[in-house]
Amino acid sequence: MSLINGLPAHVLLVHIVVVLVPLTALALVVAALWPRAAQRLGPLLPLLALIALVSVPLTTQAGEWLEQHVNNDALVRRHTEMGDGLLPWVLGLFVLAAVVWWAARSAPAEPGRGGRMRWSAAPVRIVVGVLSLAVAVGAVVDVYRIGDSGAKAAWHDTVSKTATGTDDGS
């Protein structure tokens, strides 16, 4: 994928990653720590994670195309290298989202708890919750770092620190 309506595809696709990865991370943590939320989210959680997972290699591939069409620069190379590290985090989000969804949907009602549902035994839930939190934080931090490096690569020589035009509204 190279261009969409004349714009580099990476510039457009990156917005999907920047929105969906943190949203998926938040939904995963909430669902992993709160079984009722996992049941309410249902298949939306793994579907959201799947879309985020698919968007990462598409965005990376579009970014590699773009890298070949801009000036060779250390900031661009750094951004490209960092971008390659996001896929394992988002794969982890997807796997954990699938586990949380599967456990929530296959859990029977817990008798004597006011009809509340439980999706797993407490030790398993704790492990999944801790893993979900760790992977979610890692994914969000990585998205932030990659985005920051991309913004620096794109804008480092294009914006003046002082105003260059007039402020008369014309």
State the burial class of residue 118 (Cβ atoms within 10 Å of its Cβ: 0-12, 13-18, 19+).
middle
Q: pLDDT per residue over 36-94, tens digit each?
A: 999 999 999 999 999 999 999 999 999 999 988 888 889 889 999 999 999 999 999 99
Q: What is the value of pTM for the model shown?
A: 0.83
Long-range contact set of residues 90-93: C-beta below 8 Å, sequence gap at least 24:
90/21, 90/24, 90/49, 90/52, 90/53, 90/56, 90/139, 91/53, 92/131, 92/135, 92/138, 92/139, 93/21, 93/24, 93/25, 93/28, 93/49, 93/52, 93/53, 93/135, 93/136, 93/139
**Count of CB atoms within 10 A of residue 55's CB?**
20
Alpha-carbon torsion (164, 167, 169, 170), positive or negative: negative
Asked if the model's pLDDT at residue 118 lies above 50, the reply is yes
